Structure 1
């Protein structure tokens, strides 16, 4: 009474074979994708005392002179690395203007500082919100165009 018999053991066997084929194809696809991605991957590592830029991002939904992404600042800084915390985190020497932020950042939020003074953005003008975002403001209107509708 406690035994259960399958009506079609062939169906179960075919289903298991199909599942194995799908699993093998998925593994092949994953290894192919991994071989494409790995040559592009680079290990980033900073030394104590190096200077880095810190990635910031504008608030979502705020547009600044339309959609001019190339003119938006992506990084602020150059901040000195004080210590390495674990494999992927670094403690930075932040100025007092950024004292409201925790000074430990993930390695992906940092960009190596190239010693060129023109690359450095002043963080005094930038008011950062929680989540390292900022609100973009119009500074000056450079050009104006009047359109005349013809009836």
Structure 2
């Protein structure tokens, strides 16, 4: 039993990073971008990953910190676990204003479709799959992605009613 515990401790210590912040440090807050309301969709490479920086006000317990959030994020709870915080390497005199990224209470951002650009039918072995190219509004940047028409028709029927495909 001791050998198994030692092996598990070795694996844990090799990958574990002990992180602590002092009161007054600046940290970034990790957000989880996704498209629409479905969590099945893949994350986009250029979507924002962190918000901030925010100042650490106090340490709450062993692994949680209270942050001074901006007024735009007043709906969020101000205590966060250390796993979603990253140290900001900047001087205290330089504070970047939080961009206008709409963040929900569970730290997710929503990306909304603007319109349909193109459509095509892909031939698989036994069936045909109809794909639609969507233009997405991602915090001021526009992105294109191919999505299955049936799934998108269920989520965004208003885009298909105009007959743009």
TM-score tier (shorter): 0.5 to 0.7
TM (norm. structure 1) is 0.62
Q: RMSD of the TM alignment (CA)?
A: 2.5
TM (norm. structure 2) is 0.57
Structure (1 or 2) with the greater helix fraction: 1
Higher Cα Rg: structure 1 or 2?
1
Q: Could you tell me how far 1:141 is from its partner in structure 2?
A: 5.9
In structure 2, what is the Cα distance between the partners aligned to 1:75 and 1:33?
32
Residue 122 to residue 73, structure 1, CA distance change in 2 (3 Å) = farther
Partner residue of 1:36? Answer: 11
Q: Could you tell me how far 1:86 is from its partner in structure 2?
A: 1.2
Q: Aligned to 1:100, which of 75, 78, 89?
A: 75
Q: Aligned to 1:61, which of 14, 20, 40?
A: 40
Deviations 1:15-44 (A, max 9, x none): xxxxxxxxx4xx644431321221332211
Give the paired residue count.
Answer: 110
In structure 2, what is the Cα distance between the partners aligned to 1:81 and 1:73?
21
Asked which structure has the greater RCO (Cα within 8 Å, sep 6+), the reply is 1
Partner residue of 1:79? Answer: 54
Give 5+ residue unaligned stretches, structure 2. Answer: 112-136, 145-165
